[in-house]
Amino acid sequence: MSEHVQTHISNGTGFITLDRPKALNSLSLDMVRAMTQALLDWRDDASVAAVVVRSSSERALCAGGDIRFFHDVGRASTQGGSALLEDFFTEEYALNHLIHFYPKPYVALMDGVVMGGGMGIAQGGPDCGVRIVTGRTKMAMPEVNIGLFPDVGGSHFLSHAPGQLGMWLGLTGLTVGAADALYLDLADYFVPETELAALTALVESTPGKSLRDAIAVFAGPHNAFAGDSELEVQRALIDQHFSAGSVPAIMESLRGDSHPFAQKSLKAMELRSPLMMCVTHELLKRGAASGVSDCLRMERNLVRRNFEHGEIYEGVRALVIDKDNQPKWNPATLAEVSPEMVARFFEPCWPAWAHPLRHLA
């Protein structure tokens, strides 16, 4: 078990508390394994009727995977390969699958930062997932900013967001708050910070078998106070520009629009990895026609290709290691990204019978 994951059972509910506040609960392999073990233990335990995942800190539920670990372990190995790196992504994606199809109510309290891998542990399936946001929620899938792509099931949940909102979120990597999370259908309930103590008391005192209904009664009325969604206001603009057939076409469309939101989106994309934006565009198109399991298998393949290419090393170097915020992307411009470069990411790394996630149903 991990020192950064605390688990206990109370009143028929299993509680998973992430406790790595200095790193905003960034996921390590030990943390992934601790969460997986708890969920597997409770899945068939009749005394556990529901699960709650939360943080010991109000700053973040989870800021994502431990990207410094990705950089250090990958760089220390030859050709971007490492058993620890391989294990991390295989087990993280298996955990995402377990959460999506969990047979009991799975409540994610998304207070503070919820990004990347944090979204993967928060996006429970439609049958049992209960996703709660607050006024402090800062949600994003910012992977293109570090030379990666929206993973942890992002190819599924982003591609199934309304209209082109998922494409906007994946290509810009921009952060949204509670109202936008609700509009994106990436959250179910809003609870203001002033009511979190009452919500915590409710969760801890309500029998697990009644937890989902109790949260709906408590939190439902608060949704009207989440505020206005900027994405709802800009929906027509987003759908217009981000329905263009390619990343260059999207950016060219945005350049022709002087609206501040269009220019904000364009400026964000101009900083992202050209190659990984194109890979993300293709990923989300494919994800829209795929189930969760196939999406996770596709992402697992892309992770291997990404580390082979090395784009993530440069992104993490610029953002976290040297902190110069001046990544030297390869290739440097969209004009240099060829269809063959993008297609390479989708070429199978393993035969189907040897895929590390072949057993996902």
> What pLDDT sits at residue 303?
96
Give percent of the chain above pLDDT 90.
92
Residue with tokens 């059972």: 9
- The predicted-structure confidence for 117-135, as pLDDT tens digits, reads as follows 999 999 998 889 999 999 9
DSSP symbols for 83-122: HHHHHHHHHHHHHHHHHHT-SS-EEEEE-SEEETHHHHTT
Q: Residue 165: inside a domain, yes or no?
A: yes
Q: Residue 359: inside a domain, yes or no?
A: no
In terms of residue numbers, what domain contains 66? 5-354
14 falls in which pLDDT band (50, 70, 90)?
Answer: very high
> What pLDDT sits at residue 70?
84
- The predicted-structure confidence for 134-174, as pLDDT tens digits, reads as follows 999 999 999 999 999 999 999 999 999 999 999 999 999 99
- Please tell me the distance from the alpha carbon of residue 278 to that of residue 118, in angstroms, as a whole number: 23
Q: How many domains does the structure of the chain reveal?
A: 1
Q: Residue 360: inside a domain, yes or no?
A: no
pTM passes above 0.75: yes
- The predicted-structure confidence for 72-92, as pLDDT tens digits, reads as follows 887 766 554 588 899 999 999
Q: Distances from the Cα of 233 to the Cαs of 179, 236, 237, 239, in angstroms?
A: 11, 8, 9, 12
Domain of 251, CATH number, reads: 3.90.226.10
Question: Over the chain, what is the mean pLDDT?
Answer: 95
- The predicted-structure confidence for 291-334, as pLDDT tens digits, reads as follows 999 999 999 999 999 999 999 999 999 999 999 999 999 999 99
Task: Kindly state the greatest CA–CA separation across the chain.
Answer: 59
> What pLDDT sits at residue 79?
52
Q: Which residues have a catalytic role annotated?
A: 65, 117, 143, 151
Q: Residue 152: inside a domain, yes or no?
A: yes
**Range 103-111 average pLDDT:** 97
